[in-house]
Amino acid sequence: MRATVLVRPKDGILDPQGEAVRGGLGHLGFSVREARVGRVIDLDVDAQTAADARAAVERMCERLLANPLIESYEIQIDDREAA
Amino acid sequence: MTGTADQPRIAVVVFPGSNDHEDAALALAGLGADAVLVWHASSTLPDVQAVVLPGGFSYGDYLRCGAIARFSPVMAAVGEFAERGGPVLGICNGFQILCEAGLLPGALQANESLRFVACDVTLRVERAEVPFTSRCETGDRLVIPVKHGEGRYVAPPELLAQLEEQRQVVLRYVAGENPNGAQDDIAGVVNANGNVMGLMPHPEHAVDTLLGSADGARILGSLVDAARDRAGVARQGVAA
């Protein structure tokens, strides 16, 4: 089952990469008040149900995919194949 | 072979991508230790009195620096060693690994400048009664080089307050010399028990005035002293 994890720097954590992106957009003439750069992780998970997949990915995030001290994460499960 | 009070044994763990293990081992040997390299895939540590996690780019810094190395088989043994009070020092990537492993508080993120920094920095010793600074006095200034792209120490405000309260900040960049934007100029921290320390600067690169500074020898020498004490205690334990 396909799962996507979005990992973001937590609010209040300085994100110099986002700042650099904001500056670059500014040079291109775009007016952007803030940019934050995170990470996308696409997974193909062995799981019978979407709930099982979500629970497994949740554990993956807590243990490895995100650092909960400085990053938040969001899990999206695509269970269309199972339907 | 086990370490003795004359020549304590110190493990230097080698991860795939470590690159300062040889320098660390050489520096420790120069300070009187029997430094042994331990491959990360080993699930046990040899009989040692201290452990060093060296600098480098373990696992290519993939995902987050240190995030994958913390699951190396040897890290469980390092965790148990630390739990028993053994001194553990993480340098640069080793510091990142200890933070990811939860053996030290906080995290290390990309330098505020987004540039790799390689320069000497001046550090202030904030606390001299831990096994890593016993050859220093509080307030001493040490000149030790840094070389990293991701060394900005980060912790949420409540954790920072706790670190200050429990005096867990051992080394700070002096004013104007913070190379990475670290919060509160933090260069090195210890765990609550004081037996695990991480620092971004590289003491192993500053053990001879020929290299510009010998101040790193005061950090590593302190660790050798701590290992020596531990070897002596172990031997007394056997004799008793």
Give the span between the Cα atoms of B76 and A73, in whole angstroms: 26
Percentage helix, strand, coil for chain B under 3-state DSSP, each rounded to 5: 30, 25, 40
Whether residues A14 and B106 touch (CB distance < 8 A) is answered with no
B92 is an active site residue: yes
Residue-by-residue pLDDT tens, chain B, 240 positions: 578 878 999 999 999 999 999 999 999 999 999 999 999 999 999 999 999 999 999 999 999 999 999 999 999 999 999 999 999 999 999 999 999 999 999 999 999 999 999 999 999 999 999 999 999 999 999 999 999 999 999 999 999 999 999 999 999 999 999 999 999 999 999 999 999 999 999 999 999 999 899 999 999 999 999 999 998 877 676 654
B100 is an active site residue: no
Chains A, B: CB pairs < 8 Å: 35
Of A12, A14, A65, the CB nearest to B112: A14
Domain assignment of residue B78, given as a range: 9-239
Interface contact A40, partner B, CB < 8 A: no
pTM of the model: 0.93
Q: Is residue A83 part of a domain?
A: no
- For chain B, the domain total comes to 1
ipTM of the complex: 0.84
Interface contact A17, partner B, CB < 8 A: yes
- For chain A, the domain total comes to 1
B119 is an active site residue: no
Give the span between the Cα atoms of B157 and B154, in whole angstroms: 9
CATH of the domain at A50: 3.30.1280.10
Q: Is residue B33 part of a domain?
A: yes
Q: Please work out, in degrees rounded to the nearest 5, the angle formed at the alpha carbon of residue B46 by the alpha carbons of B24 and B170.
A: 45
